[in-house]
């Protein structure tokens, strides 16, 4: 496509940096695609760009602060005529206040307004200095024919946007709006297309994929959509994230047990092991209910890896509550856990309550869980030494002379290739996006080391 040429004869270049979750990463791919369709060219540094965009995250205070710190660092670039835009969750949350806090920003767009990007960019090009797209989320999912995928072999596919759960700590229902599912036909067509393009792994995305409801007459549930995605001819791996215990059905586990194309990994955030905290978090399930789901997952026809998210220092969390979380972690033996210190967010219910657990106690609880989890992982992972894993090859590290990739259960595996020769007699029959069988020789808490085998 021809590059857009400005009136002064220069080509238009954009730099886009992404913070936050995979939904944001994928939104950035769609934003980039839209800009490219408008004749812009993506560049890798701010210095080369005319338009500098940050796609932002506001899930915790630190994430939002990072964006403003980053913006402050590059004020000087504005003097060179560069334009700055803030997209995504911080844009949705802070709105026009961003123009005050960072006056060199001239574009503020929330995710619900991405469909209007061409028009907003045109306003910016016309010299407007405060361009906003801050609609509340609509009933429609954001569909665009323009997606510029960053990854050559792993593709994100949104199946549902927004969230209707309203957990007391969470800003997502505010920043991303109400749940909107895409039709199953649209999702499956996109997957078929991706397979044709050579993608080998598809990751279904949503804030809560389990509450997917096909809006078309086909009316597929999430489990049915998952089964249909796994049955698309040529697709090698299908993952999904994120799940919510309240909507996680035994049907999902059954479907996963039946088809090895569906990756053997469930990410199921528990957040807390205390019923009292869960109740005040408005999570809508109990510790016992969660443990019942875990039993179901453990009884799957194939072993499934289980990972989770945990928040420490939620308002009113007592020592006893915290111990219950630590005990639950020990009982479940998660394969990995993301642990977060509670951070009050605007526009949330808990954000109006006193943040009464001191930073010191939060840090202590965080460190305790982190240490115990790492110790459990180090021990549990030893059981895989000697096993063979199918690894999707991602990158070669010349210094180590090793390839890195991921198992179906999403574990990182670094491995030494066989001294293979390709048809031309060149070494290295492996390629990113391809697969290798790897025998595990060493296990650490967060990754494995192995040797490629036949």
User: Nearest distance from residue 277's CB to ligand SF4, in Å?
Assistant: 21
User: How many CB atoms within 10 Å of residue 93?
Assistant: 20
List, as own/partner pairs, every contact residues 115-123 make where C-beta atoms lie below 8 angstroms and the sequence separation is at least 24, other chains included.
115/142, 115/144, 117/31, 117/34, 117/35, 118/34, 118/37, 118/38, 121/35, 121/38, 121/51
User: Nearest distance from residue 266's CB to ligand 5AD, in Å?
Assistant: 14
Distance CA 150, CA 28 (A): 9
Tokens encoding 86: 């803030």
Using the contact rule CB under 6 A, the part of the chain among 6-14, 42-50, 55-63, 382-390 near ligand SF4 is: 55-63
Q: Closer to ligand 5AD at the Cβ: 64 or 98?
A: 64
Question: Is residue 152 helix, strand or coil?
Answer: coil
Question: Is residue 65 helix, strand or coil?
Answer: helix
Using the contact rule CB under 6 A, the part of the chain among 4-12, 168-176, 210-218, 291-299 near ligand SF4 is: 168-176
How, if at all, do strands 237-241 and 41-42 pair? unpaired
Q: Does position 221 bind ligand SF4 by CB under 6 A?
A: no
Q: Closer to ligand SF4 at the Cβ: 71 or 294?
A: 71
Positions 87 through 116 that interact with ligand SF4 (CB under 6 A): 88-89
Please select the residue that binds ligand SF4; options are 30, 83, 176, 267, rule is CB under 6 A: 176
Residue 269 touches which member of ligand 5AD, ligand SF4, none, C-beta under 5-8 Å by kind: ligand 5AD
User: Nearest distance from residue 8's CB to ligand 5AD, in Å?
Assistant: 44
Q: Closer to ligand SF4 at the Cβ: 157 or 304?
A: 157
Tokens encoding 38: 């408008």
Query: How many residues contact ligand SF4, by CB under 6 A?
Result: 13
- In sequence order, the β-bridge partners of residue 210 are none
Q: Closer to ligand 5AD at the Cβ: 309 or 323?
A: 309
Q: For the chain, what's the residue count?
A: 454
User: Nearest distance from residue 153's CB to ligand SF4, in Å?
Assistant: 23
Buried b (16+ CB within 10 A) or exposed e, 239-256: bbbbbbbebbeeebbebb
C-alpha closest to that of 270 among 259, 258, 278, 279: 278
User: Nearest distance from residue 26's CB to ligand 5AD, in Å?
Assistant: 15
Please select the residue that binds ligand SF4; options are 21, 229, 270, 278, rule is CB under 6 A: 21
Distance CA 310, CA 321 (A): 13
Please select the residue that binds ligand SF4; options are 13, 15, 23, 199, rule is CB under 6 A: 23
Please select the residue that binds ligand SF4; options are 12, 24, 201, 208, rule is CB under 6 A: 24
Query: What phi, psi does 432 have (nearest 5°)?
Result: -55, 135
Distance CA 302, CA 305 (A): 10
User: Nearest distance from residue 167's CB to ligand 5AD, in Å?
Assistant: 7
Residue 311 touches which member of ligand SF4, ligand 5AD, none, C-beta under 5-8 Å by kind: ligand 5AD
Distance CA 291, CA 333 (A): 12
Distance CA 114, CA 85 (A): 13
Using the contact rule CB under 6 A, the part of the chain among 18-26, 215-223, 276-284, 335-343 near ligand SF4 is: 18-26
Residue 89 touches which member of ligand 5AD, ligand SF4, none, C-beta under 5-8 Å by kind: ligand SF4
Using the contact rule CB under 6 A, the part of the chain among 171-179, 328-336, 374-382, 438-446 near ligand SF4 is: 171-179
Please select the residue that binds ligand SF4; options are 28, 34, 58, 271, rule is CB under 6 A: 58
**DSSP assigned state of 11:** B
Distance CA 27, CA 147 (A): 9
Q: Does position 28 bind ligand SF4 by CB under 6 A?
A: no
Q: Closer to ligand SF4 at the Cβ: 128 or 164?
A: 164
Query: What phi, psi does 204 have (nearest 5°)?
Result: -80, 130
Distance CA 101, CA 94 (A): 10
Rounded to 5, what percent of the chain is helix, strand, coil?
35, 25, 40
User: Nearest distance from residue 174's CB to ligand 5AD, in Å?
Assistant: 11
What is the helix (H) or strand (E) element at residue 174, kind and residue range? helix 172-176
Distance CA 147, CA 133 (A): 20
Q: Does position 160 bind ligand SF4 by CB under 6 A?
A: no
Q: Does position 20 bind ligand SF4 by CB under 6 A?
A: yes
User: Nearest distance from residue 126's CB to ligand 5AD, in Å?
Assistant: 38
Q: Which residues bind ligand SF4 (CB under 6 A)?
A: 20-21, 23-24, 57-59, 88-89, 171-172, 175-176
């Amino acid at each position: 496509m021809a590059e857009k040429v400005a009136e002064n004869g220069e080509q238009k270049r954009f730099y886009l940096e992404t913070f936050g979750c995979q939904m944001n990463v994928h939104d950035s791919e769609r934003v980039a695609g839209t800009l490219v369709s408008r004749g812009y060219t993506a560049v890798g540094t701010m210095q080369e760009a005319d338009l500098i965009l940050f796609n932002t995250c506001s899930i915790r205070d630190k994430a939002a602060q990072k964006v403003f710190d980053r913006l402050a660092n590059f004020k000087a670039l504005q003097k060179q005529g560069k334009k700055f835009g803030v997209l995504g969750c911080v844009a949705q949350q802070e709105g026009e206040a961003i123009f005050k806090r960072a006056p060199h920003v001239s574009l503020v767009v929330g995710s619900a307004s991405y469909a209007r990007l061409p028009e907003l960019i045109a306003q910016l090009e016309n010299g407007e200095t405060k361009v906003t797209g801050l609609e509340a989320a609509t009933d429609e999912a954001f569909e665009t024919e323009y997606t510029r995928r960053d990854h050559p072999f792993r593709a994100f596919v949104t199946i549902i946007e927004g969230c209707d759960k309203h957990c007391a700590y969470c800003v997502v229902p505010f920043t991303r709006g109400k749940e909107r599912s895409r039709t199953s036909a649209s999702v499956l067509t996109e997957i078929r297309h991706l397979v044709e393009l050579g993608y080998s792994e598809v990751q279904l995305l949503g804030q809560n994929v389990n509450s997917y409801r096909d809006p078309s007459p086909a009316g597929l549930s999430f489990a049915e959509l998952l089964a249909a995605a796994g049955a698309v001819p040529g697709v090698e791996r299908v993952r999904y994230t994120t799940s919510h215990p309240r909507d996680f059905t035994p049907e999902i586990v059954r479907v996963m047990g039946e088809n090895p194309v569906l990756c053997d990994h469930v990410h199921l955030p528990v957040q807390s092991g205390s019923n009292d905290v869960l109740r005040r978090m408005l999570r809508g399930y109990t510790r016992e209910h969660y443990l019942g789901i875990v039993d179901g997952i453990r009884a799957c026809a194939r072993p499934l890896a289980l990972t989770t998210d945990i928040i420490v220092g939620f308002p009113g969390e007592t020592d006893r509550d915290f111990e219950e979380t630590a005990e639950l972690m020990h009982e479940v033996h998660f394969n990995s856990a993301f642990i977060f210190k509670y951070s009050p967010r605007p526009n949330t219910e808990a954000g109006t309550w006193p943040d009464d657990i001191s930073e010191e106690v939060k840090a202590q609880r965080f460190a305790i869980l982190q240490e115990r989890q790492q110790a459990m992982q180090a021990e549990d992972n030893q059981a895989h030494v000697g096993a063979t894993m199918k690894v999707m090859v991602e990158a070669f590290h010349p210094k180590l002379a090793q390839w890195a990739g991921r198992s179906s259960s999403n574990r990182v595996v670094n491995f030494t290739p066989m001294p293979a020769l390709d048809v031309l007699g060149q070494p290295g029959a492996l390629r990113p996006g391809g697969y290798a069988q790897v025998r595990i020789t060493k296990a650490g808490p967060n990754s494995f080391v192995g040797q490629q085998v036949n």
